[in-house]
Amino acid sequence: MSLISIRALAASLALATIAAPLAAQDSNTVTNTEFEAENDPFIWLEETRSDRALDWVRAENAKSESALQSDPRFEQLKAEALAIYNADDRVPDVNIMPYGLVNFWQDAQNPKGILRRTTLESWRGDQPEWETILDIDALAKAEGKEWVYGGMSCLPPEGTHC
């Protein structure tokens, strides 16, 4: 037998030894999801709109608010953060797309936010002219649902079909 054949045979035997217990184990294995559901004491929080989950969230929020508001700096820091959040002179973060520069913007008038676009020429000016692509606040009001913008994924490589 040649050296290559012996190595191939040894590799085959090693793989068979490893694979046999794994194959036997397959019928007895539990998926991560099943394991987590059985052992996760907070699995009920997955039902995000259930009364139990919402009551828990409200209670945890109350604890957090109490802890934050007990800090003597809270009101000043809150006011400063809101001023920054609602400032008109913020520089928009843009994504370069084939159809223009796209930005998701939230402010006092658009608390849920708007997805908007502009051209490179407009962006280079002092006051870019924005075209609204999607108004999350208007959509939520029209449909009576609490929509939240979760980002944008586009089909590569052209960045279309977002």
On whether residue 48 sits in a domain, the answer given is yes
Q: Is residue 125 part of a domain?
A: yes
- Number of neighbours of residue 118 by Cβ within 10 angstroms: 19
Residues 102 and 160 in one domain: yes
Predicted local confidence at residue 144, as pLDDT: 95
136-151: average pLDDT: 95
pLDDT category at 3 given cuts 50, 70, 90 is very low
**Calpha distance 19→32 (Å, rounded):** 21
pLDDT in tens, 11-51: 565 555 565 555 555 556 556 666 667 789 999 999 988 99
Q: 103 - beta bridge partners?
A: 116
Whether 112 and 49 map to the same domain: the answer is: no
How many separate domains does the chain show? 2
Tell me whether residue 123 is in a domain: yes
Which amino acid, residue 32? N
Q: What is the pLDDT of residue 162?
A: 80
pLDDT at 23: 54
Host domain of residue 55: 37-69
Question: Which residue do the tokens 């919402």 mark?
Answer: 54
101 and 152 assigned to the same domain: yes
Residue 159 lies in a domain: yes
Which band of pLDDT confidence, cut at 50, 70 and 90, is reported for residue 108? Answer: confident
